[in-house]
Chain A
């Protein structure tokens, strides 16, 4: 408990409070009047309104599209299931710059939709919403699907035997059990889309702006810290409200569940209905996830001399002039992996400790702590980055030019994921098992290892996958923290896109493809890590 608290105090609360204070405290006087001033500006109000409704719409749309997917991945066995599960997570790590490109290629002029039906969605809200679904599809599939695959189908069957209809059985038995996971997924999607930055900037054109974009403009471009501070507080308030609603709905739902080994619950689809459902989900994935990714791969191979690996070869050579990167771009792969590894370890350690603490006790203080852990998802990366800059500048905490700052910032975003993934499962563990173990003389640590760990191992792996993926694709912190020149993949991609010339563009596409592959492979490896103990004995 103390570990996570210290971590958050030092690397989140302190920097954020400092930067907000810098904006609102002028000559020792707190200028709370600024809040009213800023909030009465029509342009700011418009931004707030747009931010809120697009986040709500994105969340609803994502749930509608992704829940069938979660079911299919949890309950059916089909060829290449693991590969697909890794692939749908890939969007999550792609830098928004690249996603913007892919979506413009699909939805924009001369894109697929334009060719087929003459529909152009770029610079409309639809492009933003679809891109958000693309990004967050995996969040729902993994969070909800992870738990769903461990629910014992026999409970539903028992209800059917007792005379409940198929739908009633699902509604009375499965849905309540899934509730917390669905709520957690919805919460995360909402927070992500609420603080959406790159997607809105690229696909929305200059007409749409979110609070996050506005904070960036006020801080990084205009240096209007007080307006930025007010907007940060507004973001805090909104996120706080959402967290409160979430806590209130979930608290009355979390019950001990009977969890079983996922391998037992999935089977081949039977009957026309199930096959149709599987087909529908696969078609959705094809259109929504694979098509945009495919565009990038196609462009990375479409070299000057026809299709081939020219751009990939160019990646391993130093720039003709030796300038943009002091290292070949391919080195960015290793930088990214290194950062991601460290960030994952930090996120798992802090998140795991926090989740363990949260399951053990209940109480108002702890619930507050739970909410606190979620806040980094809802606070602008700019605010945190600039906060780092003005707080971590004195020994022993002069970390501004230290490489550890990057994985630390990334872990901040990873921790909430780890907590959200593990909590539903940990809370679902039947407390009597722990008590029994304790009665039989096991130490608390041993109880954790023998009872909790086997059950949450899967959630832990999924959480690790997310933390890793977040770090791999994370762009905000790495941009706001000045760093010596060891670019990560997303940074390298952005840099290549920032220069004219065919080779640069092609290399950016090639590097994006490599980023996708690296992510997919990393996730597949995680999927492979299986325990040799079967957890089916409960």
Chain B
């Protein structure tokens, strides 16, 4: 037992920050120095789990500025933001990436961010600059939540795939659509907001009643909807899925192509371009950041062409900087929504709870 006792003491000591169990090789790279004796060399980016960037691009940033980027992943988009709100004032990092237009008001109302106008903001398209006067957040990317369809199914049935919100409620497409629970899934919520944008705050409920009568299936999360229920995806084919329509992203078809061996000449899935809701993701400098200068440099970098052109194949989102080139896979297999729906962030903030609740009692009961 004596050894065990020793180990406990060590473990507790380690836990108490007195020493570290270096032997176990945790990646405890030196974070910023706290005594301010020298300029901190690390800038910490807190984000949701979907953040991804090519190592070469992050290295280029280090070369340019001298800061190393440390990425902390903090759960899904909602959870990551809420953690920042909880730890307001003593943040876990310097920059937060991943607050989208459906959550923007919550972040701004809680005063999470220090205003900063990123260099190169003039190159960012106007319609995504939702905080233009104060610059508390910087737009970084956009993504469209749209219904995807299984091309093979509709070709076999000699049926034209649906193109619009209206189409989805038509008898021809009965029992074909699977969507996600709006309370637990961000594409699910996006699709609901898309219908709010399309039919207005008074009309969306009627639309969902029609969808329900038309046999829409609801599952909890995107993974399950896409990999288990949707017949167009690789997982769905194996699971003998029987729903050829799913709520996913406009960038899902390019991903289907990119992650196949060998790559097919045509994407197995298509996008119903009249069913889209546009999500914009923002980043901001956290109040109380230990390394403000580094944080500012990182924000500049997020809207630089280098980072913007690297994003699509890593996060499957679209750049917001004018003239940033899209990879071929995107231009060839992706779809551009003709007129994506949007809803103003403060309208979303005011009504979200109530919409989710009425949606739940309308669709799930």
Contacts and interface: CB of A to CB of B under 8 A. Distances in A.
Interface of A: 3, 6-7, 10-11, 22, 97, 100-101, 104-105, 108-110, 201-202, 205-207, 217, 219-223, 299, 302-305, 310, 314, 320-324, 326, 338, 341-342, 345-346, 348-350, 352-353, 356, 386, 389-390, 393-404, 408, 445, 448-449, 453, 479-480, 482-486, 494-495, 497-506
B226 to A, nearest CB: 6
Contact of A404 (B1, B7, B14): B14
Interface residues of B, number: 90
Contacts of B163: none
A486 B70 CA distance: 12
A396 B18 contact: yes
Contacts of B354: none
A398 B12 CA distance: 14
Given A302-B238, A304-B261, A402-B28, 7 more contacts: A221-B79, A299-B238, A326-B55, A386-B83, A389-B83, A396-B17, A502-B259
B255 A220 contact: no
A353 B8 contact: yes
B239 A320 contact: no
Contact of B87 (A303, A389, A502, A505): A389
Interface in B51-98: 52-56, 70-76, 78-80, 82-83, 85-87, 90, 92-93
B79 A480 contact: yes
A357 to B, nearest CB: 12
B142 interface: no
A503 B27 contact: no
Q: Secondary structure of the B side of the interface?
A: mixed
Given A202-B220, A220-B78, A505-B227, A401 B92 contact: yes
A221 B260 contact: no
A485 B21 contact: no
Contact of A217 (B4, B7, B184, B255): B184
Contact of A6 (B12, B21, B71, B224): B12
Contact of B252 (A22, A352, A500): A500
A453 B2 CA distance: 12
A323 B71 CA distance: 13
A201 B16 contact: no
A217 B75 CA distance: 13
Contacts of B238: 299, 302, 505
Contact of B258 (A219, A320, A483, A506): A320
Contacts of A321: 54, 258, 313-314
Listed residue (A22, A201, A303) with the most chain B CB atoms within 10 angstroms of its CB: A201
Contact of A206 (B8, B258, B364): B364
A480 B16 contact: no
B326 interface: no
A485 B71 contact: yes
Contacts of B78: 220-221
B181 A390 contact: no
B24 A341 contact: yes
Nearest to A502: B234
Contact of B262 (A304, A350, A448, A506): A304
Contact of A223 (B15, B106, B220, B221): B106
Interface in B187-235: 218-224, 226-228, 233-235
B4 A348 contact: yes
Given A401-B72, A408-B15, A497-B227, A504 B8 contact: no
Q: What 10 pairs between A and B have smallest CB-CB spacing?
A: A501-B259, A502-B234, A110-B240, A323-B314, A403-B26, A349-B8, A220-B79, A482-B74, A323-B52, A503-B259
B269 to A, nearest CB: 8
B8 A3 contact: yes
Contacts of A399: 15, 17
Given A100-B224, A389-B83, A389-B87, A3 B9 contact: yes
A502 B260 contact: yes
Contacts of A394: 90
Given A6-B12, A104-B239, A389-B87, A205 B258 contact: no
A101 B227 contact: yes
Contacts of B257: 501
A207 B184 CA distance: 12
Nearest to B353: A222
B82 A220 contact: yes
Contacts of B20: 404
Contacts of B93: 401
Contacts of A503: 234, 259-261
A322 B26 contact: no
A349 B11 contact: yes
A303 B261 CA distance: 9
A322 B58 CA distance: 12
A389 B80 CA distance: 11
Contact of A3 (B12, B241, B256): B12
Contact of B72 (A22, A453, A484): A484
22 contacts: A6-B12, A7-B12, A100-B224, A104-B224, A220-B75, A222-B353, A304-B262, A320-B313, A321-B313, A342-B21, A345-B7, A401-B92, A402-B17, A482-B80, A483-B72, A485-B71, A485-B73, A501-B257, A501-B259, A503-B259, A504-B255, A505-B233
Contacts of B12: 3, 6-7
Contact of B239 (A105, A220, A400, A482): A105
B242 interface: yes
B183 interface: yes
Interface string B23-38: 0111111010000000
Contacts of A404: 14-15, 20-21, 26
Contacts of B364: 206-207
Contact of B1 (A222, A352, A386, A389): A352
B164 interface: no
B53 to A, nearest CB: 7
B315 A323 contact: yes
Contacts of A479: 49, 75, 79
Given A220-B75, A401-B92, A403-B28, A500 B226 contact: yes
A397 B17 contact: yes
A23 to B, nearest CB: 11
A155 B50 CA distance: 60
A103 to B, nearest CB: 11
A177 B31 CA distance: 55
Given A110-B239, A322-B55, A201 B255 contact: no
Listed residue (A11, A483, A502) with the most chain B CB atoms within 10 angstroms of its CB: A502
Contacts of B227: 101, 497, 505
A349 B4 contact: yes
A399 to B, nearest CB: 7
Contacts of B28: 402-403
Interface in B253-309: 255-262
Contacts of A299: 238
Nearest to B182: A206
B1 to A, nearest CB: 5
A324 B83 contact: no
Given A205-B219, A206-B183, A483-B73, A501 B256 contact: yes
B46 interface: yes
B228 A101 contact: yes
Contacts of A310: 261
Given A302-B238, A323-B53, A401 B31 contact: yes
Given A310-B261, A353-B5, A390-B86, A498 B27 contact: no
